[in-house]
């Protein structure tokens, strides 16, 4: 009973970190929760007599659960592909972009945001684990090697290979994000000023906003109507938010096609909004 209480206490103490590890590994809140629950089932039955570093031990258990889930996910995709031809190989010789973020030591994962998850999905499970655990959670290559049954040097190689691909994606993402930011900022400015002609230029002729369709109708709807919306990054993507008492009450997400806004989705669900990472941006206009 005493041992069980000790395990429960340590698990509760580190649960937020364990969930963060699982989410970075899997990219899905639901799967992350499943991984943490599975980890709890494992540690609750484990012999803890030799555990000297509870945080490291629990991280290892969660990482192994996530690795198994990533391997299973990969096999499902391969089975679903059937006899389809293989994906083309990643071109060799891609030069890594510079480290993202305002400071040299800021983690790539924190600056790439949604783009990181897209890139991580292209990595082999062991590469993904090595990159996430080392670059995001500062786990040593020795510990990572034990999890994936590789040497520390091999774990370092896996992380380095993943890092090059993530840096390349960071550079591509920054360019796309900057263009989208300019477009969202121009939309907000035109909407606040009631500039119908400018909105028509920004909107795709077939733009959709809920039940409203077409550039003319959407421009009429938004002209003068977004005065309280603010430019922001939402989960790393340019968007607009409406805040009440400092909390997001509505998020405007934009789809861009051919350099114009083709869809605007407005989300007001408190459950979803509460889990978003919202960073307000200073507008230049």
Is 14 found in the same domain as 155?
yes
Burial (CB count within 10 angstroms: exposed 0-12, middle 13-18, buried 19+), residue 119:
buried
Answer yes or no: do 227 and 127 share one domain. no
Look at the chain and report how many structural domains it folds into: 2
Residue 157 lies in a domain: yes
The C-alpha atoms of residue 2 and residue 15 are separated, in whole angstroms, by: 20
Report whether pLDDT(54) > 90: no
pLDDT score for 275: 72
Radius of gyration in angstroms for the set of CA atoms belonging to the chain, rounded to a whole number: 23
| Stretch (H or E) spanning 95 | none
Instruction: Please check the confidence at residue 30 and state whether its pLDDT lies above 80.
Output: yes
Q: Which of 180, 185, 193 has its CA nearest to residue 219?
A: 193
Using DSSP's 3-state secondary structure scheme, residue 264 falls into strand
Domain with 110, as residue range(s), is 2-176
Considering the domain architecture, whether residues 123 and 215 belong to the same structural domain is answered as no
Domain membership of residue 127 (yes or no) is yes
Q: Comparing 41-50, 190-199, 216-225, which segment has the lowest mean pLDDT?
A: 41-50
Last residue of a domain, one of 158, 176, 194: 176
Do residues 124 and 200 both lie within one domain? Answer: no
Contact of 119 with 169, CB cutoff 8 Å: yes
Residues 201 and 118 in one domain: no
pLDDT at 87 over 70: no
The reply to whether 56 and 141 lie within a common domain is yes
* pLDDT tens sequence across 94-125: 233 333 333 333 334 443 355 566 667 778 89
Whether residues 197 and 99 share a domain: the answer is no
Q: Which of 140, 156, 176 is the C-terminal boundary of a domain?
A: 176
pLDDT tens for each residue of 190-206: 999 999 999 999 999 99
- Rounded average pLDDT over 219-224: 90
- Residue 186 in any domain: the answer is yes
CATH code where residue 150 lies: 1.20.140.160
Domain of 202, CATH number, reads: 3.10.450.50
Residues 145 and 188 in one domain: no
Contact 215, 238 (CB under 8 A): no
Q: Are residues 152 and 46 in the same domain?
A: yes
Q: Do 142 and 68 have their domain in common?
A: yes
Other C-beta atoms within 10 Å of 248: how many? 20
Q: Identify the CA nearest to 266 among candidates 236, 224, 221.
A: 221
The pLDDT score that the predictor gives to residue 85 is 34
- Angstrom distance (rounded) from CA 150 to CA 144: 8
Question: Is the same domain home to 13 and 100?
Answer: yes
Domain boundary among 176, 203, 226: 176
Per cent of the chain over pLDDT 90 is 31
Residue 216: the pLDDT is 94
Count how many residues are written for the chain.
Answer: 285
Does 285 map to a domain? no
Q: Which of 33-47, 193-207, 257-271 has the highest mean pLDDT?
A: 193-207
CA nearest to 281, candidates 229, 226, 232: 232
Residues 168 and 201 in one domain: no
- Is residue 135 a part of any domain in this protein? yes
CA angle in degrees (0–180, nearest 5) for 189-265-232:
50
Residues forming a β-bridge with 242:
250
């Amino acid at each position: 009973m005493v041992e069980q209480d000790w395990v429960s206490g340590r698990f509760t103490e580190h649960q937020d970190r364990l969930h963060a590890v699982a989410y970075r590994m899997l990219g899905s809140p639901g799967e992350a929760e499943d991984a943490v629950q599975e980890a709890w089932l494992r540690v609750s039955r484990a012999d803890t007599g030799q555990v000297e570093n509870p945080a490291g031990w629990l991280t290892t258990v969660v990482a192994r659960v996530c690795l198994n889930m990533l391997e299973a996910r990969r096999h499902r995709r391969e089975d679903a592909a059937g006899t389809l031809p293989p994906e083309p190989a990643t071109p060799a010789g891609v030069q890594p972009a510079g480290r993202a973020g305002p400071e040299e030591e800021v983690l790539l994962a924190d600056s790439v945001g949604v783009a990181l998850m897209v890139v991580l999905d292209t990595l082999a499970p062991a590469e993904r684990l090595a990159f996430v655990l080392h670059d995001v959670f500062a786990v040593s290559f020795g510990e990572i090697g034990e999890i994936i049954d590789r040497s520390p040097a091999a774990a370092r190689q896996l992380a380095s290979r993943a890092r090059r691909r993530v840096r390349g994606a960071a550079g591509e993402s920054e360019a796309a994000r900057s263009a989208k930011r300019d477009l969202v900022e121009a939309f907000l400015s035109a909407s606040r000023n009631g500039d119908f002609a400018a909105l028509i230029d920004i909107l795709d002729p077939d733009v959709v906003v809920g039940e409203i369709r077409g550039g003319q109708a959407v421009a009429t709807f938004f002209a003068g109507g977004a005065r309280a919306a603010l430019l922001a990054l939402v989960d790393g993507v340019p968007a607009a938010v409406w805040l009440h008492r400092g909390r997001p009450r509505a998020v405007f997400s934009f789809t861009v096609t051919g350099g114009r806004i083709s869809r605007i989705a407005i989300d007001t669900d408190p459950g979803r909004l509460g889990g978003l990472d919202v960073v307000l941006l200073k507008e230049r206009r």
